[in-house]
Amino acid sequence: MKSTARFRNVRPFSLSLLVFATITGVRGLGNVSIKVPLAVANGSTVNMLCSFNLESDTLYTVKWYKGLQEFFRYVPKEMPHITVFGPLASKVDITHSNQHNLILKDVQHDLAGRYRCEVSADAPSFHTELLSSYMHVVTLPQGNPSIHVEKLRYAVGDTVRGNCTVPPGNPTSNVTWTVNEHRVNSSFLSNISANTGENLQITIAGLDFEIIPDSFSNGRLHITCRANLFHLYQAEADIILEEERPRLASVLGTRESSYIGTAAKRSEDWIYMGVVVNLILCGLR
């Protein structure tokens, strides 16, 4: 309110000066930029930056808002220069904050939101610039993701079904799968609320794909699940699945029926070979 009143009083004067400045090439407040981290872990200390060049202007105020609420004001003409307001007041590290830097301590989830810095030049221009940026506050998962699959050996035509579980965090993690370095989409994604009383979510991503002859590389499937939460958490889990090859042992052993079932899916040659092997074995007895 105070600045608006001042603004109104001096407007004709400042307008003529603005014209003068434009003609003579004298520049004022400019190059305003804001640096707010995209995401921070809860409990951390955050440094937000509002930089600007004053050139021929003098600084009147720097104000910081979260949403619509002003919580920090720097006024060079007043002592002390810094005043803090509202619920964020206790979070501001006043001794280390200044006209360019705003330091917030022990940031928790309620501090997630849009931050705005507003810089005003003093008379005569009263030029004001404002910029804003959003900050997420995350709770990092403790530990690595884990992969679960139904079994470790597969043949062409089989379907690999499994899932990757990321420990509780907030928000949910992004999960990507690769099979022998090729991206594979998750078949499902679910968020399960962790029973911790906090708003933490366990992220589960499903894997479901049918194996074709090209799937294997040297008889192996190298499956990786990578989880990340912004740039703050990056972790992965991997597992090696092997190609199930028909072996003599499986003809003789208890897994005979599953061997034939698998062989039938592959090609009739395999069935034929199985029969031949059986005939040879019968002949040997």
Ligand X SMILES: *[C@@H]1O[C@H](CO)[C@@H](O)[C@H](O)[C@H]1NC(C)=O
Q: Closer to ligand X at the Cβ: 229 or 241?
A: 229
As a whole number of angstroms, the distance between CA 200 and CA 118 comes to 34
**The 3-state secondary structure of 122-176, one letter per residue:** CCCCCCEEEEEEEEEEEECCCCCCEEEECCCEECCCCEEEEEEEEEEEECCCEEE
Among 189, 235, 237, 239, binds ligand X (CB under 6 A): 189
As a whole number of angstroms, the distance between CA 202 and CA 185 comes to 19
Q: In the bound complex, which residue of the shown chain has the CB atom lying closest to ligand X?
A: 43
Among 128, 187, 191, 278, binds ligand X (CB under 6 A): 191
110 binds ligand X (CB under 6 A): no
53 binds ligand X (CB under 6 A): yes
> Within 10 Å of residue 192's Cβ, how many Cβ atoms?
13
210 binds ligand X (CB under 6 A): no
Among 78, 110, 150, 210, binds ligand X (CB under 6 A): 150
157: left (phi over 0), alpha (psi -120 to 50) or beta: left
133 binds ligand X (CB under 6 A): no
* From 24-32, 92-100, 112-120, 242-250, span contacting ligand X (CB under 6 A): 24-32
How near is the Cβ of 27 to ligand X at its closest, in Å?
Answer: 4
As a whole number of angstroms, the distance between CA 224 and CA 164 comes to 9
250 binds ligand X (CB under 6 A): no
153 binds ligand X (CB under 6 A): no
120 binds ligand X (CB under 6 A): no
Among 204, 205, 211, 241, binds ligand X (CB under 6 A): 204
Describe the strand order of the beta sheet including 101-104 as a list of residue ranges: 30-35, 46-53, 101-104
190 binds ligand X (CB under 6 A): yes
Q: Residue 22: which H helix or E strand, with range?
A: helix 2-24
Number of residues that bind ligand X (CB under 6 A): 26
Type of residue numbered 239: I
148 binds ligand X (CB under 6 A): yes
229 binds ligand X (CB under 6 A): yes
